[in-house]
Chain A
Amino acid sequence: MTHIVVDPITRIEGHLRIEAEVDGGKVTDAWSSATMFRGIEIILKGRDPRDAWVFTQRICGVCTTVHAIASIRAVENAVGANPPPNARLLRNLIMSAQAVQDHVVHFYHLHALDWVDVVSALSADPTKTASLAQSISDWPLSSATYFTGVRDRLKTFVNRGQLGPFANAYWGHPAYKLPPEANLMAVAHYLEALDFQRKFIRIHAILGGKNPHLQSFLVGGMATPVDPDSQASLNIGTIAALRELIAKGRDFVTRVYIPDVIAVGGFYKDWTHYGAGVGNFLAYGEYPEGDDSEPRLFLPRGVIHARNITRIEPMIPEKITEQVKHSWYNYDGGDDKGLHPFKGETNPAYTGPTPPYDRLNTDEKYSWLKSPRYDGQPMEVGPLARMLVAYGSGQQRVKELVGKVLTALGAGPEALFSTLGRLAARAIETQVLIEKMDDWVTALAESMARRDYRIQDNSKWDPASWPKECYGAGFHEAPRGALGHWVHIQDGAIVNYQCVVPSTWNAGPRDSAGQRGPYESALVGTPIAKPDQPLEILRTVHSFDPCMACGVH
């Protein structure tokens, strides 16, 4: 039996360490530990709740909008503010643009190199690469000349002798299965996706001033005025710019991203058997389609237990707790019980080894992540959870696309409960959202035509209009999954603030009952060809799209 440590896990956001036991070419047990803590929940105490979103936004610069949205919803819920329809549309556009961009970056820049051997691309035949590319998509950048250019650029790069970020990787590892031509095509798309993400995210700059860390949110609405007759507001020119960017995004997602996922997946079908995880799924639902207090959600809310997608249970917020049995925190009332976020505590209490260290004591506390539980159960959150809940709830477009992708891969629905399933679900979601974005732009344009200037519920802006003491919860579906913020306000100041974050759900350590978190569960059973080069661990962990700055905050 070998004990292996992978620290740092790279190509993720933040500081994640995986320790694993490997026996007989398989992972037999695993521990997930996040190794960075800032204390943003503590820093928020005593501050103006209207400022909170700016702080929580800095929990993560990758999913840069999500903590802002969750925070604003929590405070709005507490003080009773009702954002007007324009604000809802703008938020929907911002959230969906975040998801699309984040998913594309994840696949190409954070995950692809687990499946794509860059060195093998050097020996690809550009003509064959071109015919492969043309066989899967009508994307115009697919000529032999084009791929020759990419291959030569790569060659020039390698010949200069400085491999930079591509040095020291697991190139040539036996688990790489793509033929050189597919590798070359993927490298080309890696570079194209770098340009894509930069251009597409201009949607955020238009609606939020800048990305990362957009600056247009407000408790009660948005700070971007809407007025078709003003050059200092979102106007018809904005509509045209959004339409263009969304159209280009749709082009890339439909003609590059989706075909690539199917093509890569086709070579790694065995990965539908690994990385299943806990089998429970949680989705808060997202993209309100109306302005009442319980609006219809474009992607539905729900809970799945034990992979039973035929039964979508209602999500009951009171069942959410966080435990710290194996986390470097203390609870005033003892560490064996979970606390609901309204009663949540963040009391850092490091008990791990003094750095520098080689091993964590995984019998005791071993991570800065807490262990969120729903009804005492570990839950997986993320695109897979959302697509399963949507599928089980009969969301039409999701059902169609899941069917299409599964057919293309020649697999049944059970294939979704896997490492590869997460990749597929993420790609499907991207497609669903990029198609939907146009509707919200159209609704915004119609609102402009009606001269509906409302962007903000000003009646609840002044803290004097708030109850003396109030509580609020804000839910959101971030790219990586279900996100909730809980706030307790008294005399216009924050008394307590708790964030329960997608990567906390997925990457959290064991709970007091000894149940593993989703990463830990998913890793068990993963094959390991070379314990000193645990490429397969990266595959399964990356399939969740880890974000430790989010998870710990």
Chain B
Amino acid sequence: MAREQSWLLDELKRRGISRREFLGFCAKMAAILALPSSAAGAIAKAVATGDKPILVWLEFQDCCGNTESFLRATRPTVAEIILDTFSVNYHETLMAAAGHQAEAALNQTVAGHPGQYIAVIEGSIPTGKNGAYCTIGGKSALQIAREVCGAAAATVAVGTCAAFGGIPAARPNPTGAVAVGDAVPDVKNLINLSACPMNAENITALLVYYLTVKQWPPLDQYRRPLFAYGKFIHDNCERRAHFDAGQYVEMWGDPAHRQGHCLYKMGCKGPATSQNCPVVRWNEATNWPIGCGHPCVGCAEPNFWDTMTPFYRRLPNVPGFGVGSNLDRIGIGAAAVVAAASLAHGIGEIVRHRVGTKPSDSDRPSGDKK
């Protein structure tokens, strides 16, 4: 213990960081996580002591976007995570080892620390063709995921692909891609950090949460931490006043667009998407999608590639009516057809009453009146 304590303090001093500044960082972290201020001390202690927790990061049917996002982390930075806070024993994009020696690093971790490491999974897992749509070292992603996540203390599915299947699982899902939770039925402590990619702020907040309170945070119905996914984009959006007022961007570059009016009519999916983008924002809180003038595409939600598309329309296509079908136009059309049919039928009735015979003379079958 003492060794680690002094290690941290030495290290801080070396980097010109005073104890006070360090505690300030911890207080900031506590605030992000909505923890009581007393937690700052616990964070400081947690970060400074003990063996570094082990983390293995696996990539399957992914685009590496979540890894890249991870590289943009600031609180702590990726260098601090790799060198100081965690022992990242496997991460194909970053690790020095390759081939058999890389595989060995993973196997040693799984066999040597069962139930003790955190598995981070990026990308979906294909179930088609015996898993041949994704293999590493000749083994299928499905097999690796079951071995590694099955023995992990917790599994963090980063990005919508790992959390919900994401783009590989979009219609018609050519490879039978599934989410981690579906591929590894007995996975323990699964946490989904969806979004495409996940925001670096959210994984660092999650890791610090774990280090601090030694527990995993409360989750929503899709197993996403409430601290990051507990509110809708729409509820924190800086353009909300314009939504309520009824002021909308009608065309790209129009005065409403330049003045930052609401993007609802351009297809914004903020009203159907939960994530903390408007609050924590992205890349050192520089900006976020709606902040730059483009609608939210709903990237943190399950099935968003199928249900949030077409991206530039508010509603999905009407089933059976093809791309770009407009529900209101279909509705007005249907109403017109029914109205016309009613009119025609009414005319038919009038004609028959004019030219027809009396009911009592009728010899047609007529049920009750017989």
A–B interface present (Cβ within 8 A): yes
Closest Cβ of chain B: how far from A490's Cβ, in Å?
10
Inter-subunit contact B79/A194 (CB<8 Å): yes
Question: Is the C-beta of A503 less than 8 angstroms from some C-beta in chain B?
Answer: no
A8 / chain B contacts, CB cutoff of 8 Å:
92, 98-99, 102-103, 136-137
Inter-subunit contact A207/B167 (CB<8 Å): no
Interface residues on B, range: 35 or more
Interface residues on A, range: 35 or more
Interface membership of chain B positions 3-24, coded 1 if the CB is closer than 8 angstroms to chain A and 0 otherwise: 0000100110011000000000
Given the contacts A202-B284, A210-B289, A168 and B67 also touching, CB distance less than 8 Å? no
Inter-subunit contact B130/A61 (CB<8 Å): no
Inter-subunit contact B79/A230 (CB<8 Å): no
B281-315: which residues lie under 8 A (CB-CB) from chain A?
Answer: 282-284, 286-294, 297, 299, 305, 309-312
Interface membership of chain B positions 194-232, coded 1 if the CB is closer than 8 angstroms to chain A and 0 otherwise: 001101000000000000000000000000000000000
A298 / chain B contacts, CB cutoff of 8 Å:
none
Given the contacts A55-B305, A493-B323, A160 and B7 also touching, CB distance less than 8 Å? yes
Question: Is the C-beta of B51 less than 8 angstroms from some C-beta in chain A?
Answer: yes
Please, how many angstroms separate the alpha-carbon atoms of A61 and B59 in the complex?
12
A202 / chain B contacts, CB cutoff of 8 Å:
283-284, 286
The residue of chain A having its C-beta at the shortest distance from the C-beta of B124 within the complex is: A38
B331 / chain A contacts, CB cutoff of 8 Å:
none
CB-contact partner of B139 in A171, A356, A463, under 8 A: A356
A183-236: which residues lie under 8 A (CB-CB) from chain B?
Answer: 191, 194-195, 197-199, 201-202, 204-213, 215-218, 220-221, 223-227, 230-233
Question: Is the C-beta of B131 less than 8 angstroms from some C-beta in chain A?
Answer: yes
Interface membership of chain A positions 138-181, coded 1 if the CB is closer than 8 angstroms to chain B and 0 otherwise: 00000000000100110011001011111111110000000000
CB-contact partner of A153 in B64, B83, B137, B311, under 8 A: B83
B11 / chain A contacts, CB cutoff of 8 Å:
153, 156
Question: Is the C-beta of B69 less than 8 angstroms from some C-beta in chain A?
Answer: yes
The residue of chain B having its C-beta at the shortest distance from the C-beta of A227 within the complex is: B258
Question: Is the C-beta of B362 less than 8 angstroms from some C-beta in chain A?
Answer: no
Please, how many angstroms separate the alpha-carbon atoms of A352 and B132 in the complex?
8
B146 / chain A contacts, CB cutoff of 8 Å:
none
Stretch at the interface among B148-156, B170-178, B182-190, B347-355: B170-178
Question: Is the C-beta of A454 less than 8 angstroms from some C-beta in chain B?
Answer: yes
Inter-subunit contact A212/B101 (CB<8 Å): no
Question: Is the C-beta of A396 less than 8 angstroms from some C-beta in chain B?
Answer: no
Stretch at the interface among B41-49, B70-78, B334-342: B70-78
- Most chain B CB within a 10 A radius of its CB, from A162, A461, A493: A162
Inter-subunit contact B62/A549 (CB<8 Å): yes
Inter-subunit contact A164/B86 (CB<8 Å): yes
Inter-subunit contact A354/B252 (CB<8 Å): no
Given the contacts A10-B93, A358-B138, A62 and B293 also touching, CB distance less than 8 Å? no
A205 / chain B contacts, CB cutoff of 8 Å:
282-284, 286-287
Besides A165-B95, A171-B96, A231-B260, 15 other CB < 8 A contacts?
A7-B138, A8-B103, A9-B98, A14-B59, A39-B175, A58-B196, A105-B71, A164-B52, A165-B82, A198-B73, A205-B284, A353-B138, A453-B253, A456-B251, A492-B323
24 A-B pairs with CB atoms under 8 Å apart are: A7-B136, A8-B98, A9-B99, A10-B92, A13-B63, A37-B133, A39-B175, A48-B324, A54-B311, A58-B63, A61-B65, A62-B64, A164-B87, A165-B82, A167-B97, A169-B96, A171-B96, A195-B79, A198-B71, A198-B283, A201-B283, A202-B284, A355-B140, A456-B252
B residues near A (Cβ < 8 Å) are: 7, 10-11, 14-15, 51-52, 54, 59-69, 71-74, 77-79, 82-84, 86-105, 126, 129-141, 143, 166-168, 170-175, 177, 196-197, 199, 251-253, 257-260, 282-284, 286-294, 297, 299, 305, 309-312, 322-324
A residues near B (Cβ < 8 Å) are: 5-15, 35-40, 42-43, 46-48, 50-51, 54-55, 58-62, 64, 105, 109-110, 113, 118, 149, 152-153, 156-157, 160, 162-171, 191, 194-195, 197-199, 201-202, 204-213, 215-218, 220-221, 223-227, 230-233, 348, 350, 352-358, 453-456, 458, 461, 463, 491-493, 532-534, 538, 549
